Structure 1
């Protein structure tokens, strides 16, 4: 991987133009840049791109361009690069994702996709055409990354080195409470079962309350096993979160479940979310079953900050 020496530190809106042969990692790169805070814009006709910047946008943009574009040609793309480079309000960087032809062919074989330039022929023919078409673009690259030996995680990490804006949180953490009777929420990365803790449901005075109430939280915390459980969960999370950041993960969902999703799981969610926020993490929380019970949307809401 190489990088030329453009004046990337000058003032102006940052624009990363992403291109390269199909199968080299362009889609992964666009996703990684989005996670880094760039607005992704993919496969817009080249003739329309300059209009994007006729008004004030401000935030960084990742433009995905490839040979499938309706008006794509190497000369048109070079003209676009020159146009954007001359704009004093923009800081343009050309990111070129590359890979060896044999690797590209293997990737097409593994996914059983057809190459856009040779849909009715073996992928090798289209790959050769595309590499030839893009040759004049490749030599203009500010950042050239060969993904032949890279996993998607490796590619994301490498892009982070070049394009991290330093203006967004590294990892957004969401903590959920739920009832096992209604099923486990989709998309959880980590799941903890709270049903072994003492259940406030059997206390008549606590039954109508939920785990956000101090009396319920204190009752759950009175279980002799609670403190050790809470401590071990926090130790695990504080060990794992930096590792997920290093991997390039942008969001982590943590779930706490109990029988009804009203008392024990809610109390744990409240406590863990608060502790993670105090440790410096960006945390939101959601209580699924309490949301179901609140017809007017009152109570815990999606994305509520810890």
Structure 2
């Protein structure tokens, strides 16, 4: 920890360029609600956010000029954060008359590395869900010549993104990634592995409906469709809103929003055993 603190206090602030494509801005909302470091600390003290359509003061031509200047000035040094899926066909989601595909390729060319924040950028997310009318694809299918760090979730936990950037700032390298490009520290275990209701699962105690006595006693939500056993994320340990809660703690099963193509599975409230056995 002292090494991290010293790095935050003494090293030059990393430059961040943040692009938004096919998204709902929920990932940005989550980011500015991080609690390990306050958003004001992150934005004003620890990173230099040169471009973010939602958070920056300039707009229009002034905003685009600011981005162009940052790309040129910090060539090879800036971190490119991408929120939202990409449409290579050039028809949908244009900014200033330019396609998101063109904007992504331009910004990624001279980035130190790319962070796909949220399931839309990481896997294609909701825009890519069948029938995928816009032809949406994840960032890593477009950017193949640079490291792409995936921080999935719908939205992801803001602290996870902050910690990933801080790791790079403090140690000068990215955190260890798994086979899908996710930081192992946060996506190395399933929600089921970390869940405080795991003891009820092991004991065979399950809620049968959302309002029965077993649900009120906090029994496992597996039979109500919880996808915790197949979902990798840190929700049970970091949680949300200042570590106040996460969906399972609030009485709702995990539906696997940080996993690829979670929406197209189409069985949010069906138990995994039913799906695995092919029972409709």
Structure whose alpha-carbon radius of gyration is higher: 1
Which has more strand, going by share of residues? 1
